[in-house]
Structure 1
């Protein structure tokens, strides 16, 4: 479910207390939600990803929560509980003494539910509020600090660097203006190879380093001539016998006919031509990781 009804709230003035995310149901479920929080007054923003399982009339189980971003220093605690006012499941962020700056905005971005549950019941009925008294709340699970550890972030950056090492080249379909940070177009500048208007060919051997260039976009074909010199043909008729008015006329003499050796040479003519030899193509950009 994206942006469920009741899952967004804006407070214009400063607030003190925990941010309470109240679920629309008391039934058992497996669910995960993503909440974005932004304090415009002091430019703090973070995202909470929380998940867990509930059982009707009992407790939260198998809970997890992660905060990504820059929350208030005392807003890193996440508790999974039940609201005593209506016995609905809820998630609490921060302390009852946490001070949120003016223009606080919180919104549930998405909700996922499984284990054979009807997702429609998560489309509406949500409620976000600030609570500064947790008396009577049934706190089932507490994560004291849900922020992602700096070493985990550093490790993730290292993993990303290993997956995308410097010098790696990719094909980019987006616009030149939206090339992501850390990537530059391969135009021969800033240490990149010039791959503008070029195809890529594999190195000829496993021991050959990349970098060789060659080829052309067009092929010049030289003209050439087929000649037919003058010559002669000799035709020798055979002896024949004819009959005329009952008389036999015998023409037994062979006659040889020889053509003249004079005549026109068939020399033809030559014309040079240039043809585009590229296959059909689609323009994309080559980007290199810096």
Structure 2
């Protein structure tokens, strides 16, 4: 008895287990379409029958270590992007300034500064003859991870 028969059961009607199981399986197939991707909270080695781990194998997308973003014109379905680490450019830094004072003591100028690289304490940075002064560079330009708090789940895809 197939689901397509659209059989309506009547009170007292009896159905054998085999027919019920076939109808249930067919109903299940229609409820969750092939290709649907869901989050799986179990162990990756315990993925249910009929589902595949989204690990890039068996025509599944590799969704390990990835966040999902809603598809749009800017992000068409199936497109992957993003970076594991980001190094900010000068144009991406917030506007800020570094303070220093000039203390004249005889023929030289002592430059004192405050800043995160100095632990917030005023310290002599440099001594120069009267005139120009420079501050030293800070930072290394290394990339950094910008990961929010997370809870890891596996993505699985219905065959």
Shorter-chain TM-score category? Answer: 0.5 to 0.7
SS at match of 1:170: strand
- For 2:55 and 2:15, locate their aligned partners in 1 and report how far apart those are by CA, in whole Å: 44
Q: Which has the higher contact order (CA 8 A, sep 6+)?
A: 2
Alignment partner of 1:204 out of 72, 78, 86: 72
Identify, as 1 or 2, the structure richer in helix: 2
1:172 aligns with 2:37: no
Cα contact 1:227–1:265 (8 A) shared by 2: no
1:183 aligns with 2:51: yes
TM-score (norm 2): 0.59
1:219 aligns with 2:86: yes
- Please name the residue that 1:273 is paired with: 142
Q: 1:149 to 1:282 in 2, by over 3 A?
A: closer
1:149, distance to aligned residue in structure 2 (A): 5.7
Q: Number of residues paired by the alignment?
A: 114
Cα contact 1:218–1:278 (8 A) shared by 2: no
SS at match of 1:275: coil
Q: 1:149 to 1:185 in 2, by over 3 A?
A: closer
Matches within 5 A, 1:2-151: 147-148=16-17, 150=19
Q: 1:267 to 1:286 in 2, by over 3 A?
A: same
Q: 1:205 to 1:155 in 2, by over 3 A?
A: farther
1:178, distance to aligned residue in structure 2 (A): 1.6
**Which residues of structure 1 form unaligned runs of 5+?**
1-62, 65-142, 229-260
| CA root-mean-square deviation | 3.2
SS at match of 2:157: strand
Q: 1:268 to 1:209 in 2, by over 3 A?
A: closer
**Which residues of structure 2 form unaligned runs of 5+?**
1-10, 100-128
